[in-house]
Structure formats: structure tokens, C-alpha cells
Amino acid sequence: MSDCDYAVAMAPNKAKALSNRGAVWLMAREPGKAAADFSDAILLSPEDATLNFNRGIAYGMIGARDKAIAEYTDALKKRPTMAIALYNRGYEYELLGRSTEALEDYRRALSLEPQLKPASDAIQRVTKGRL
């Protein structure tokens, strides 16, 4: 992690360095630290949908479902065709028992990316009523 810390300190593009360190925190199963880095990066690069998407992943990992949904929604406002954000938001809805909204997101994700197998699997799972 010291290399990432150094990159954040020295990088001319701090948003990218913070995003990279946040991704490392996600891989290290440290979602709170990841969310903090993505939050800082969003302040520097608010137009970047990927930062909201990644912060959504971090929030989902800590069980903050509503915050994760809000992040995926923000990512989709910035990039409406981000199928994976639709899938992830659908999954968070599904975990909350909001199957109608989950199905809408899964179907929309699949229409944008027909090869997104997790979305088609999720549609089958939700329509059968099991998680």
C-alpha cells in the first residue's frame, strides 16, 4: 500500500491515484477505506461515473444498501448506458427485497449488454422468487 500512498502524494492527477488506491482497498477487503478514497476522488473529478460506481461497490460490501443504490444511481445519471451499474443496483434492490425494481434494472442491463450473463441469471432467480 505504501506505493499507492506515494502515488497519491505525488500524482498530478490525484483523482486517478485516489481511485487506484481505492481499488486496492477494495481488493484488500477494506471497503471503508476504499469508500473514503473514492469520496475524495469524486470531489476532484465529479463527472467520473466510475468513481460513483466503485464507491457503490464499497458501500455494498459494508451492507450500506441505500448508499450503494444512491451511488449506482449517480453513476447512471453520468453514464446512462453503464449496464454493470444497473446490474449492481438491481442486486442491491434484490437484497432489500425490492424485486420489482431489481427486475427493471436487470432487464435494462441485459438490453444494454446482452452478453451480461449475471443479469440474465438474476432475472431467472428473481422471477423464481429466490436469492
Nearest to 100 by CA among 76, 131, 66, 123: 123
pLDDT along the chain (131 residues), means of 10: 55 83 97 97 97 99 98 99 99 97 98 97 90 54
Q: Are 56 and 95 contacting, i.e. CB atoms less than 8 angstroms apart?
A: no
Give per-residue burial for 74-86: e unless 16+ CB within 10 Å, then b.
bbbebeeebbbbb
- What pLDDT sits at residue 129? 77
Cell of 88: 449492481
Could you give the domains of the chain? 1-62 (1.25.40.10), 81-131 (no CATH)
